[in-house]
Amino acid sequence: MKRKKKKYIIFSLVILLFSATLFLISCTKKQPTEAPDPEKNPLSYKEIPIEYESFRKVIGWMSDEDVLLHTGEINNDSLSIFNIFTGEIQPVYEADGIILTAVISEDQQQVLIQVVGEDGGELRIIDLNGTVIQKLPLVTKGFINVNWNPANQNQIFISYYQSEEEIVVGNWNVETNEVVPVPSASLTPAWYSSNLYLYVDNKDDFSLETGDLYMGDTRTNESLRLKNQVSDFFVHEDTFITYTPSDFSDDELLLNYQYPFMVDQSFMTIPKVTMNDRLVFPYLSQAARNTPVYGVFAKEAAKLELETGNFEFGQLDFDEKTIKPILELPDNAPITMSKNGKYSLYGWRFESIIDIEAKKVYSLISMPN
């Protein structure tokens, strides 16, 4: 009886040790394959692995993780897609010339580029495989301003200076490859819908203090004045904000918020910025419809020809009529939000990323010492 009991105890101990060993082996195998918790292990931003001399700029977002990268050597520019978290680079297109302008379509599936070479200049639309979908010869080698219709991607505004005082504004129909002149007193008309567009006539006022807001219709080639005392505006889908010098303070710029379009919701003032007595408007960006509007704002009024100014990245709050500051910035430079609203490209060449949650700026390119 004692032998049986002793055997039973030994057998139980063996089973227990075997089970414990299996448990430890199982845990050891599972640990390396567990998905990291992004809350505990935040993703790090990778630097672009190219020489600084070859870096031209980051064009914009291709997805919430990918950006379009413009690089080049002498008279040989190229485009590629760079993943900001993995550092992976995917070549897209070699231009065999200098790329002056590049604009990403609203669906992020096409890119319009302005290429200048020995044979002249032209506009090209390419897909993400580098296939040229359409070409348009240009009579100018100067920079082209482009505004791609978000509602109809076959319609693109192209505009440029033909002389110091004369501008050319046309609507490029990508399907027919025809350009139709567009009535506009501004070099930067902005699409509002498939056929309607907005522009400001500053009436040759160099200071930009004066201006009237117009709406044009490409179907009739007619324009309608909507509002006076508008110096410039920001529009994204149905968010519309106008800029007007304040009547009450020389140090303030009035922002009027309309949502939906032409329905006044609120207004607020921000510090006024000028350069050589000419208004400098804030850089604004919005990730998607019904999301916050972010911008680069001066902390106090500034004349940039006399001082560099102090600037911050913040969110417009029209309910409280104030700016919600997020972090200070070294320069008054453009921004563009990712569609998930978590971060923004920043800089004159979009060489940095603003992480909104971390409240930090990360560089995408190593600067020379």
SS (H, E, C) 58-95: EEEECCCCEEEEEEEECCEEEEEEEECCCCCEEEEEEC
Q: Would you place residue 42 in the very low, low, confident or very high pLDDT band (cuts 50, 70, 90)? A: low
DSSP code at position 43: P
pLDDT of 259 reads: 81
3-state secondary structure of 7: helix
Which tokens sit at 78? 């190229």
pLDDT of 44 reads: 87
Is 19 a residue whose pLDDT tops 50? no
pLDDT of 314 reads: 98
Q: Would you place residue 118 in the very low, low, confident or very high pLDDT band (cuts 50, 70, 90)? A: confident
pLDDT tens digit string along 155-210?
999 999 988 889 999 999 999 999 999 999 999 999 999 999 999 999 999 999 99
Is 138 a residue whose pLDDT tops 50? yes
pLDDT top residue among 247 and 276: 276
Sequence-distant (≥ 6) Cβ neighbours of residue 8 within 8 angstroms: none
3-state secondary structure of 16: helix
353: β partners: 345, 362
3-state secondary structure of 234: strand
pLDDT of 72 reads: 95
- What pTM, to 2 d.p., does this model score? 0.86
Contact 260, 237 (CB under 8 A): no
Percent of the chain with pLDDT over 70: 88
Q: What is the mean pLDDT of the chain?
A: 89
pLDDT top residue among 199 and 3: 199
Is 239 a residue whose pLDDT tops 70? yes
pLDDT of 369 reads: 73
Percent of the chain with pLDDT over 90: 80
Is 40 a residue whose pLDDT tops 80? no
Contact 346, 38 (CB under 8 A): no
How many Cα atoms are found within 13 Å in the side-chain-facing hemisphere of 327?
A: 16
pLDDT tens digit string along 43-92?
689 999 999 999 999 999 999 999 999 999 888 999 999 999 999 999 99
